[in-house]
């Protein structure tokens, strides 16, 4: 048995916790309990499941102060940011509760028996059902929103599946405190034992992913860690989906008219988006394209001033720090790059602190060497002389979670020409705003082409549930053996009946 440690990013001091790594036997036991819970949850009506999500939100709220304090100590993030993140997390749980009550996510459809151009056909009914226990691997940068109580957990539970979280090594105490809150909420809601579980330690995480009882993995983190887990999945007898949210450069494109009209304002907004949370957001704009010229120079000056005045705080842990230092060095040394703010290694002091960086390069010199993700307060400005140069430079940018345009109506022709390419290369296209601060809502999509994610699904918003559901069809089933939602007389959810939309009646 090994003991987990925790580190204060403000000092770099590492201390032992009282948490032991989970043994293989314990992992197996936890999965067994989850499998038992899965069977029981499936029998409960949807309103109960929605109440469970509300109860989890309540339990987290009740422990808000302790959770935020614990996370602040382990992550170096500010209390303001962590309070906001916890609010987002409980809001998300309740929103999924609404979606569960709504029931549209079941994608229920009924085709009655009858004569068709293909002859007489049987009655066929279909809806989505839960897939089974889901393993959740959260990220270091969102101890609440993408960790033990985050989006993967909320969407998997909403879909009707038990969840087993792997505690993050950079915030084990926060992970445990979050899990205890969830456990308490689940207990109060009368959830079966095993509805939520947690394992500690990397070996336990691998064991979990390899366990035959686990039906899917939700993952937010680095490509390296993802590849390790994907290799474990490859070894399984029965393959399971791995939903990975991995890395993203998030290009931001400023067009000419917008730059002329409000360059200083865009620069100030960009500075906030790049330095917020220490630049440690998967949606941080890491590269910004500007039409070369005097307005771009002025923009750069505004940006440097605003970023120089920002306090990026400390990075989350030593791995994030060393990755940032490496990216900072690589980008600084890439051909044609000039440094407008800071130098590699700046900001080093107690703990994992860094200073904001602004770099600049002409679009004609842009290569993939210039577009590595720097997870921290760094942005690379790229000056483009015309649309074709911009389009060519964009080829050096990896596909991302987001692409952002700052464009005024006079720029729409340019944007229109770029949109087909941008649509292929991003999961969300932002206009005249910033990609950080992902709205939790019905229409949200948080995902993107490889290497941003490895799936066609979102990890934020209501449709995140789709990852943890599978279709099941019933043919000529007696009404009493059908799920309530698929019986003829049920009218509580939207369904497609004989090809025609049937709206719920109140």
Point out which span in 346-354, 373-381, 384-392, 469-477 binds its own copies (CB under 8 A): 469-477
Sites for its own copies among residues 23-42 (CB under 8 A): 39, 42
Q: Does 423 bind its own copies (CB under 8 A)?
A: yes
Q: Does 45 bind its own copies (CB under 8 A)?
A: no
What residue has token string 């469970």?
52
Nearest-5° angle of CA 34, CA 145, CA 35?
5
Of 478, 489, 505, 506, the one binding its own copies (CB under 8 A) is 478
User: What's the min distance (Å) between Cβ of 441 and its own copies?
Assistant: 4
Q: Does 115 bind its own copies (CB under 8 A)?
A: no
Q: Does 224 bind its own copies (CB under 8 A)?
A: no
Query: Whose CA is closest to 312, among 361, 271, 362?
Result: 271
The DSSP string of 345-409 is TTT--STTB---EEEEEEGGG--GGG-----SSEEEEEEESSHHHHHHHHTTSPPEEEEEEE--G
Contacts with 498 (C-beta within 8 Å, 6 or more apart), sequence order: 110, 111, 112
Q: Does 494 bind its own copies (CB under 8 A)?
A: yes
255 close to 415: Cβ distance less than 8 angstroms: yes
State which residue, 194 or 201, has the beta carbon closest to its own copies: 194
Whether 265 sits among the annotated catalytic residues: the reply is no
State which residue, 16 or 499, has the beta carbon closest to its own copies: 499
Backbone dihedral region for residue 279 (phi beyond 0: left; psi -120 to 50: alpha; all else: beta): left
Binders of its own copies: how many residues, by CB under 8 A? 82
> How do strand 251-254 and strand 287-291 relate by DSSP bridges?
parallel
> How do strand 495-497 and strand 500-502 relate by DSSP bridges?
antiparallel
C-alpha span between 285 and 379 (Å, rounded) = 7
Buried b (16+ CB within 10 A) or exposed e, 120-138: eeeeebbbbbbbbbbbbbb
Of 1, 16, 115, 409, the one binding its own copies (CB under 8 A) is 409
Point out which span in 46-54, 104-112, 173-181, 256-264 binds its own copies (CB under 8 A): 104-112
Q: Does 427 bind its own copies (CB under 8 A)?
A: yes
478 close to 487: Cβ distance less than 8 angstroms: no
Point out which span in 147-155, 162-170, 259-267, 476-484 binds its own copies (CB under 8 A): 476-484
Element (H, E) at 226: helix 223-235
Sites for its own copies among residues 185-214 (CB under 8 A): none
Cis peptide leading into 396, omega within 30 of 0? no
State which residue, 130 or 291, has the beta carbon closest to its own copies: 130
Point out which span in 289-297, 310-318, 359-367, 407-415 binds its own copies (CB under 8 A): 407-415
- Which one of 74, 282, 328, 485 is the catalytic residue? 282
Of 18, 238, 294, 506, the one binding its own copies (CB under 8 A) is 238
Other C-beta atoms closer than 10 Å to the C-beta of 489 total: 6
State which residue, 487 or 496, has the beta carbon closest to its own copies: 496
Q: Does 220 bind its own copies (CB under 8 A)?
A: no
Q: Does 424 bind its own copies (CB under 8 A)?
A: yes
Per DSSP, helices labelled H in 108-168 are 151-158
66 close to 162: Cβ distance less than 8 angstroms: no
User: What's the min distance (Å) between Cβ of 314 and its own copies?
Assistant: 26
User: What's the min distance (Å) between Cβ of 380 and its own copies?
Assistant: 22
Q: Does 469 bind its own copies (CB under 8 A)?
A: yes
- Which one of 74, 85, 245, 389 is the catalytic residue? 245
C-alpha span between 28 and 35 (Å, rounded) = 11
User: What's the min distance (Å) between Cβ of 125 and its own copies?
Assistant: 6
User: What's the min distance (Å) between Cβ of 351 and its own copies?
Assistant: 30
Q: Does 506 bind its own copies (CB under 8 A)?
A: no
Point out which span in 158-166, 202-210, 284-292, 432-440 binds its own copies (CB under 8 A): 432-440
Point out which span in 63-71, 237-245, 366-374, 381-389 binds its own copies (CB under 8 A): 237-245
Order across the sheet with 242-245: list the strands. Answer: 196-199, 163-166, 134-137, 216-220, 242-245
Q: Does 368 bind its own copies (CB under 8 A)?
A: no
User: What's the min distance (Å) between Cβ of 141 and its own copies?
Assistant: 18
State which residue, 14 or 236, has the beta carbon closest to its own copies: 236
State which residue, 297 or 369, has the beta carbon closest to its own copies: 369
Long-range interactions of 355-358: CB distance < 8 A, separation 24+: 355/312, 356/274, 356/275, 356/279, 356/307, 356/308, 356/310, 356/312, 357/307, 357/328, 358/300, 358/303, 358/304, 358/307
Q: Does 339 bind its own copies (CB under 8 A)?
A: no
Whether 245 sits among the annotated catalytic residues: the reply is yes
Per DSSP, helices labelled H in 76-150 are 79-102
Of 104, 335, 345, 368, the one binding its own copies (CB under 8 A) is 104
State which residue, 362 or 451, has the beta carbon closest to its own copies: 451
Q: Does 503 bind its own copies (CB under 8 A)?
A: yes
Pull the structure tokens for residue 295. Answer: 């307005």
Q: Does 118 bind its own copies (CB under 8 A)?
A: yes
Pull the structure tokens for residue 126. Answer: 């279909």
Point out which span in 142-150, 185-193, 293-301, 470-478 binds its own copies (CB under 8 A): 470-478
Q: Does 181 bind its own copies (CB under 8 A)?
A: no
Catalytic residue numbers? Answer: 245, 282
């Amino acid at each position: 048995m090994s003991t987990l440690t925790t580190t204060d990013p403000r000092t770099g001091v590492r201390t032992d916790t009282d948490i032991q790594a989970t043994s293989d036997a314990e992992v197996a036991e936890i999965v067994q309990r989850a499998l038992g819970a899965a069977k029981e949850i499936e029998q409960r009506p949807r309103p109960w499941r929605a109440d469970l999500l509300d109860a989890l939100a309540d339990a987290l709220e009740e422990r808000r102060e302790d959770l935020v304090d614990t996370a602040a100590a382990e992550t170096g993030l500010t209390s303001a940011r962590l309070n906001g993140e916890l609010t987002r997390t409980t809001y998300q749980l309740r929103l999924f509760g609404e979606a569960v009550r709504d029931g549209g996510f079941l994608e229920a459809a009924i085709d009655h028996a009858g004569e068709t151009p293909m002859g007489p056909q049987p009655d066929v009914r279909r809806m989505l059902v839960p897939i089974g226990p889901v393993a959740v691997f959260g990220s270091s940068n969102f101890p609440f929103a993408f960790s033990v109580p985050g989006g993967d957990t909320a969407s998997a539970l909403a879909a009707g599946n038990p969840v087993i979280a792997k505690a993050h090594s950079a915030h084990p105490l926060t992970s445990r405190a979050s899990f205890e809150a969830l456990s308490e909420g689940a207990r109060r809601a009368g959830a079966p034992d095993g509805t939520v579980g947690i394992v500690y330690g990397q070996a336990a995480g691998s064991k979990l992913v390899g366990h035959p009882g686990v039906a899917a993995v939700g993952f937010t983190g680095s490509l390296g860690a993802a590849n390790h887990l994907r290799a474990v999945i490859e070894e399984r007898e029965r393959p399971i989906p791995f939903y990975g949210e991995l890395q993203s450069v998030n290009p931001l494109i400023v067009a000419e008219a917008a730059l002329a009209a409000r360059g200083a304002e865009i620069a100030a907004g960009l500075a906030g988006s790049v330095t917020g949370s220490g630049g440690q957001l998967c949606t941080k704009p890491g590269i910004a394209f500007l039409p070369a010229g005097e307005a771009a120079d002025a923009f750069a000056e505004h940006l440097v001033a605003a970023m120089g005045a920002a306090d990026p705080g400390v990075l989350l842990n030593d791995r994030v720090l060393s990755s940032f230092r490496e990216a900072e060095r690589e980008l600084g040394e890439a051909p044609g790059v000039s440094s407008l703010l800071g130098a590699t290694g700046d900001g080093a002091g107690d703990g994992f602190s860094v200073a904001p960086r602004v770099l600049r390069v002409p679009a004609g010199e842009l290569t993939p060497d210039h577009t590595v993700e720097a997870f921290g307060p760094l942005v690379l400005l790229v000056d483009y002389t015309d649309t074709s140069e911009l389009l060519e430079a964009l080829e050096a940018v990896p596909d991302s979670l987001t692409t952002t345009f700052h464009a005024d109506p006079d720029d729409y022709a340019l944007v229109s020409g770029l949109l087909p390419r941008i649509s292929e290369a991003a999961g969300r296209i932002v206009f005249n705003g910033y990609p950080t601060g992902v709205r939790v809502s019905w229409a949200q999509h948080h995902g993107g082409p490889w290497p941003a994610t490895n799936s066609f699904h979102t990890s934020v918003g209501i449709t995140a549930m789709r990852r943890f559901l599978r279709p099941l069809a019933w043919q000529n089933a007696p009404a009493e053996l059908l799920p309530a939602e698929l019986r003829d007389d049920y009218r509580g959810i939207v369904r497609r009946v004989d090809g025609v939309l049937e709206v719920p009646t109140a």
